[in-house]
Amino acid sequence: MVAEYDCWFQRRDAGPDRVGLDRLYRGEESPLLDHAALEYRRGMEKCFGIPVRPPALTVEPSAAEGGPGLRLGTIPYLNKTRGLALTEQGPEGFVIRWEPGRPLIAGQDGQGTLYGVYRFLSLLAQGKLRPGDELAETPAAPLRMINHWDNMDGSVERGYAGLSLFFKDGRISYDRGRIEDYARLLASVGINRLSINNVNVRGPARELITEKHLPDVAGLADLFRPFGIRLLLSVNFSSPISVGGLGTADPLDRTAAAWWEKQADLVYRCIPDLAGFLIKADSEGEAGPFRYGRSHADGANMLAAALKPHGGIVVWRCFVYNSAQDWRDQSIDRARAAYDHFKPLDGSFADNVLLQVKHGPYDFQVREPVSPLFGALGKTRHLMELQITQEYTGHQIDLCFLPSMWADVMDFDTPAGPVKKLLGASSLEGLAAVGNVGLDGNWTGHTLAQANLYGYGRLAWNPGLGAEEIAGEWAALCFGPGDAAETVKSLLLKSYPAYEKYNAPFGLCFMVNPGIHYGPSPEGYEFSRWGTYHRADREAVGIDRTSAGTGYTEQYAPAKAALFADPSTCPENLILFFHRLRYDYRMKNGQTLLQNIYDTHFEGCDEAEAMLTLWTGLKGRIGGECYDSVLARFERQIENARQWRDVVNTYFWRKTGVGDLKGRKIYD
Ligand code: GCU
Q: From 151, 198, 334, 391, give the residue whose CB has the most ligand 1 atoms within 8 Å, as the site to mutate.
A: 391
Query: Which of 291, 283, 281 is closest to 253 using CA atoms?
Result: 291
- pLDDT tens for 448-486 read 999 999 999 999 999 999 999 999 999 999 999 889 999
- pLDDT tens for 180-233 read 999 999 999 999 999 999 999 999 999 999 999 999 999 999 999 999 999 999
Q: How far is the CA of 200 from the centre of ligand 1 (A)?
A: 8
Query: Which of 425, 422, 447, 424 is closest to 437 using CA atoms?
Result: 447
Q: How far is the CA of 438 from the centre of ligand 1 (A)?
A: 18
3-state helix, strand, coil in the chain (%, to 5): 40, 15, 45
CA distance 393 to 373: 24
pLDDT tier at 54, thresholds 50, 70, 90: confident
pTM of the model: 0.98
Residue type, 142: P
- pLDDT tens for 226-252 read 999 999 999 999 999 999 999 999 999
Q: How far is the CA of 145 from the centre of ligand 1 (A)?
A: 17
Nearest CA to ligand 1 atom 1: 363
Asked if residue 200 has its Cβ within 6 Å of ligand 1, the reply is yes
CB neighbours of residue 502 within 10 Å? 26
Task: Answer yes or no: is pLDDT of 58 > 70.
Answer: no
Asked if residue 199 has its Cβ within 6 Å of ligand 1, the reply is yes
Asked if residue 334 has its Cβ within 6 Å of ligand 1, the reply is no
Does the bond joining 481 to the residue before it have cis omega, within 30 degrees of 0?
A: yes
Q: From 319, 362, 365, give the residue whose CB has the most ligand 1 atoms within 8 Å, as the site to mutate.
A: 319
Task: Give the pLDDT mean for 411-417.
Answer: 95
User: Ligand 1, closest atom to CA 158?
Assistant: 9
Residue type, 585: Y
Task: Give the pLDDT mean for 332-338.
Answer: 96
pLDDT tier at 592, thresholds 50, 70, 90: very high
Give catalytic residue positions. 284, 363, 391
Task: Answer yes or no: is pLDDT of 56 > 90.
Answer: no
Asked if residue 155 has its Cβ within 6 Å of ligand 1, the reply is no
Q: How far is CA 332 from the centre of its chain?
A: 29
Nearest CA to ligand 1 atom 11: 363
User: Ligand 1, closest atom to CA 199?
Assistant: 13
- pLDDT tens for 160-175 read 999 999 999 999 999 9
Q: How far is the CA of 153 from the centre of ligand 1 (A)?
A: 18
User: Ligand 1, closest atom to CA 358?
Assistant: 12
Asked if residue 319 has its Cβ within 6 Å of ligand 1, the reply is yes
CA distance 198 to 501: 31
- C-alpha neighbours within 13 Å on the C-beta side of residue 254: 0
Q: How far is the CA of 489 from the centre of ligand 1 (A)?
A: 30
Asked if residue 157 has its Cβ within 6 Å of ligand 1, the reply is yes
pLDDT tier at 60, thresholds 50, 70, 90: low
CA quadruple 249, 255, 258, 259: dihedral positive or negative?
Answer: negative
Walk me through the domains of the chain, giving residue ranges and CATH numbers: 4-137 (3.30.379.10), 143-465 (3.20.20.80), 503-543+580-656 (3.90.1330.10)
CA quadruple 252, 253, 254, 255: dihedral positive or negative?
Answer: negative
